[in-house]
Amino acid sequence: METSPAPAAGRPADTSGTVVEPGDGLPGTRRRRRGRRGAVIRVLQVVLAVAVLGGWELLTSLRVIDPFFFPRPSDIAVRIWEWISTGYILDDLAVTLEEALLAFVIGSVLGLVVGFLLARVSLLAGVLDPYLKMFNALPRVVLAPIFLLWFGLGIWSKVAFGVTLVFFIVFFNTFQGVRDVDRVLVDNVRMLGASEYHLVRHVLLPSALTWIFSSLHISAGFAITGAVVGEYLGAAKGVGYVIAQSEGVFDTTGVFAGMIILMLVVLVIDLLVNRLEALLLRWQDPAKTA
């Protein structure tokens, strides 16, 4: 699993892949042209979705594709609706989200603190460097069984698993953010009378936060990945558990329904993260980060 999203220079890459809307001040004709282009793209996107889903539906109805392995989209939609309308999935979804949120918060705080410490205390960084590298090189999925043994079938084994994923992303970004802080900013604030506390509060932390927020999409996604994979491997609740149960009775419709529900949830979270990011990084030049 790739867990070092920090690119070498300047700003972290925008991994969300979202298209930045053109700002105000575009000449009218250009904006209109863009608007028309946008409409064309929207229409083509819908056409693509209809073609793929319709083709899938048709081919399964004609038995060209075996609906046992690839259930009909209409069946999946019905299943999702059943699960939501009866509230069957809601408890499991709540558990998954709780695990993800806890993993996200604990992993972020730990990553922030450790990243800060290591960036400021070079002796510590020197000593711990090989161990952190070794631990990060470990494919994290292999930790799930041992966490199940240590923390049991409840939520904490999943939280611990998610923490190991989130921690390294936040840690690397914090470390980089504090290390990469502009020397002139530090000197300037020190000349203005900053204590070590002021330096952290006004310069180092905001500098690191820009990196951390930019990686929020990845760490939020990993928090959910951690929860679901943990549930899949052994749990009594959660969307991952539901998927595993469906798989156990060869109910591929259930597996697909679970997948799609997770996908939708992650999309919603991603939108919220976008909003949060725009608010917290509003001081950044949009022209430069676009």
Partner 1 sequence: MTDDSTAPAVQLKGCTRRFDTPSGGEYVAVRDVDLTIAPGRFVSIVGPTGCGKSTLLNMAAGLLEPSSGEVFGFGEPLRGLNRRASYMFQQDALLPWKTVRDNVALGLKMRGVASAEANERALHWLRRVGLEGFANRYPYQLSGGMRKRTTVAQTWIVDPDVLLMDEPFSALDIQTRQLMENELLQLWQGSNKAVLFVTHDLDEAIALSDEVVLLGVGPGSRVVGRYEVDLDRPRDLMDIRSRPEFVRIYEEIWSQLKEEVMKTYAKDSPALAK
Q: Does residue 202 touch partner 1 according to CB under 8 A?
A: yes
Q: Does residue 204 touch partner 1 according to CB under 8 A?
A: no
Residue 240 · residue 96 · CB < 8 Å: yes
135 vs 179 by CB, closer to partner 1: 179
Q: Does residue 62 touch partner 1 according to CB under 8 A?
A: no
Q: Does residue 21 touch partner 1 according to CB under 8 A?
A: no
- Alpha carbons 4 and 181: distance in angstroms, whole number: 19
Residue 117 · residue 124 · CB < 8 Å: yes
- Alpha carbons 204 and 182: distance in angstroms, whole number: 9
- Alpha carbons 107 and 159: distance in angstroms, whole number: 9
**Token pair recorded at residue 210:** 């820009």
Contacts of 175 (CB under 8 A, 6+ apart): 115, 118, 119, 125
Contacting range for partner 1; rule: CB under 8 A; set: 87-95, 200-208, 217-225, 233-241: 200-208
Burial call 10-20: b when 16+ CB within 10 Å, e when fewer: eebeeeeeeee
In the complex, least distance from residue 21 CB atom to partner 1, rounded to whole angstroms? 18
In the complex, least distance from residue 195 CB atom to partner 1, rounded to whole angstroms? 7
Show the site string, 132-161: x = touches partner 1 by CB under 8 A, - = not.
------------------------------
Among 31, 120, 179, 198, binds partner 1 (CB under 8 A): 198
Q: Does residue 73 touch partner 1 according to CB under 8 A?
A: no
Among 76, 80, 203, 204, binds partner 1 (CB under 8 A): 203
Q: Which residues bind partner 1 (CB under 8 A)?
A: 184-185, 187-195, 198, 202-203, 206, 210, 282-285, 288
